[in-house]
Structure 1
């Protein structure tokens, strides 16, 4: 009986401590560059339904799915438990409303776990030391189809918290903005579609529609790693920074960690740091998804290598994707730059 009482008290104490956990963070909002949105009203509340802060209203959102957007002076120090958000999706010509609980236990776990980031301190081997850090940005991402994703991010580290689904709603344009031209709903949507959505995307929408499934495809995790072949034995890999189309990212400096396979979304870009050089490669999403899907179909459950092979003096980087004995060369990636020397 005594053991049961002690166990119960410890459990209550544990949960009480968790509820009191307070960590400082800023709140940002973003959308894909090609499919901008704008917040109408939005806010986070805690487990007791008390207001924490608003979702920033900073105008049109198009910082990109991998960007954090403007902070707008919003933030908090209490674990959020609920989000209420209304926004306009210009490419879809509609308003969305989200009213959803958040996985506060997961948020708390990610906050507490933190991550390692590169400091300015130098270790005995002349390398910058990795030190513990805490996530300090909570980002709300809005993609076509009412898809809303929440991330926590820090320096070169970003993790998805959850994916939520907003529903189409009605908002009178007169309540949304100062309607000097007295536009009705249809006129408002048509004029802002032309102003906010890039011409190339307008043409793409007219021809093929909006690729609603794409952002969920980004979230599909594959087991892969980067295999980097330095040009010669004198040049060593000192860091690999992988930013993914899913919006997540990580930075690896230990060779033993870089050699491990990880469950992650397809890469958006990867920056590889060598002893003398560092290179940045940007991947084409459609090509990479197609290659990964093809290899997984032929080799179900097998891990994948993205092989990076520098040419002489790092003038170019050849990129291929390998699974077991099958290797496919990528054609549509871009070498954004080679620096150092």
Structure 2
């Protein structure tokens, strides 16, 4: 027998033996973790067990806040093919209040086995192998577990962990470091703005956030490019650009086909939208953050709106005014206006306030453990 043939047969035999030895409840998956955007987790650790034996885990020595349900990387341990776990242990330090949380829970193993066998359905309706079991860690000690495959994600369960007290509360050096870090950190400044505007919605991580069947359109009289990032109450985020959701100005209300891709699936409502609007040659940039009306969910629930349209009429010297509508086949309801400032390259600044607030906006009461001196918020508010 030729040597190459012998090598091939030997390799083939090893593969066949490996497949035959794989248990029917053993799958290729890894452990992951997640935390809400602007409500991060420091030093996250997760470990999965089956019948009291550790089978997989993940940890990180730094803080994470990739967005709720979005998986963050870190050190991952465990074999490639693993049995489905029956329990979990987690611990982390909350990035908002520095409380240390630790605990665990039983997992619905039969449900997870069935999901591994039937596979995940991604954003485009295709089936993908589940490859991750993700632990989301949120303020208040709230944990959510998901199974994920490609862009498909299925919630498995929720549970609460025990508050172990303030991390290094009496450590003088550590407290000094935290104070100095907050003074110079742009990331902390951005998060503290978010807290000032939206507070800490503890209950949303405990109960979950409702999703709605609506799509998103963007329209402008001048066909500038655009990019939108939508932030939801629970710290999730999703993005939209001109490739999938642009509506010609004169047809923004008249023509009404549903967007065909992932933007038309069910999604949470935004509480804040970051927008960039820029000319085709990228010589002029307008930026800003739009704070959505606090009664948006009530408006959606009381009507049959199934599209949100963000519109900007035309370019001006230093700023532009835009509008947001809720739309259906028969009517459109303008819910707010917003302002964007042009970015001045020579001055390295926006020529208008970064934040736009709707009429009647009320800043929430701060519920965090520590009294924070929030930085001054420069904003434009609709009259």
After TM superposition, the score normalised by the length of structure 2 is 0.53
Whether the 8 Å contact between 2:120 and 2:129 is mirrored in structure 1 is yes
Matches within 5 A, 1:102-121: 102-111=107-116, 112-116=118-122
Specify the SS of the correspondent of 1:67.
coil
Work out whether residues 215 and 265 of structure 2, in 8 Å CA contact, stay in contact via their aligned partners in 1: no
For residue 310 of structure 1, report the CA deviation from its aligned partner. 8.9
How far did 1:54 drift? 1.8
Is 1:132 aligned to 2:127, yes or no?
A: yes
State the match for 2:284 in structure 1. Answer: none
- Confirm or deny: 8 A CA contact 1:291 1:328 kept in the other structure: no
**Matched residue, 1:153:** 148
Quote the residue 2:334 is aligned against. Answer: 328
Matched ranges for 1:238-249 at <5 A: 245=232, 247=236
Deviations 1:219-266 (A, max 9, x none): 3214322165899xxxxxxxxxx98745487999x9697699865422
1:168-247 aligned at under 5 Å gives the runs 168-169=163-164, 184-185=170-171, 188=174, 191-192=177-178, 195=181, 198-201=188-191, 211-213=200-202, 215-216=204-205, 219-226=208-215, 228=217, 245=232, 247=236
**Partner in structure 2 of residue 50 of structure 1:** 53
The residue that corresponds to 1:304 in the other structure is: 306
Alpha-carbon separation, structure 2, partners of 1:261 and 1:250: 13
Q: Deviations over 1:78-111 (max 9, x none)?
A: 2222111122224312211122122333433443
Residue 64 of structure 2 corresponds to residue 64 of structure 1:
no
Q: Counterparts of 1:250 and 1:52 in 2: how far apart (Å)? A: 35
**3-state SS of the aligned residue for 1:145?**
helix
Paired residues of 1:321 and 1:330 also in contact (CA < 8 A): no
Cα offsets for 1:1-43 (capped at 9, x unmatched): xxxxxxxxxxxxxxxxxx9422212222232343332236541
SS at match of 2:64: coil
Please name the residue that 1:177 is paired with. Answer: none
Deviations 1:159-217 (CA, angstroms, capped at 9, x unpaired)? 333332122015985xxxxxxxxx94466356436537713545776x79951437449
**C-alpha distance in 1, partners of 2:137/2:37?**
11
**In the alignment, is the contact (CA less than 8 A) between 2:101 and 2:141 conserved in 1?**
yes
Q: Distance between the aligned counterparts of 2:113 and 2:334, measured in 1?
A: 41
Structure 2 residue aligned with 1:73: 76
Given that 1:91 and 1:193 are in contact with CA atoms closer than 8 Å, whether structure 2 keeps it comes out as no
Give the 3 Å change call, closer, same or farther, for CA 132–26 of structure 1 in structure 2.
Answer: same
3-state SS of the aligned residue for 1:162? strand
Alignment partner of 1:32 is 2:36: yes
User: 2:93 aligns to what SS in structure 1?
Assistant: strand
Instruction: Decide which structure has the larger Cα Rg and report it.
Output: 2
The TM-score with structure 1 as length reference comes to: 0.59
Distance 1:132 1:203, change over 3 A: closer
Secondary structure (helix, strand or coil) at the match of 1:73 reads strand
Kindly indicate whether the alpha-carbon contact (under 8 Å) linking 2:44 and 2:60 is maintained by their aligned counterparts in 1.
yes
Given candidates 253, 266, 271, the residue that maps to 2:269 is 266
Distance in 2 (alpha carbons) for counterparts of 1:262 and 1:320:
19
Residue segments in structure 2 that go unaligned for 5+ positions in a row: 1-22, 221-228, 245-256, 275-286, 315-320, 341-383
2:99 to 82, 94, 107: 94
SS class of match (2:113): helix
Aligned length: 275
- Kept in 2: contact 1:103–1:161 (CA 8 A): yes
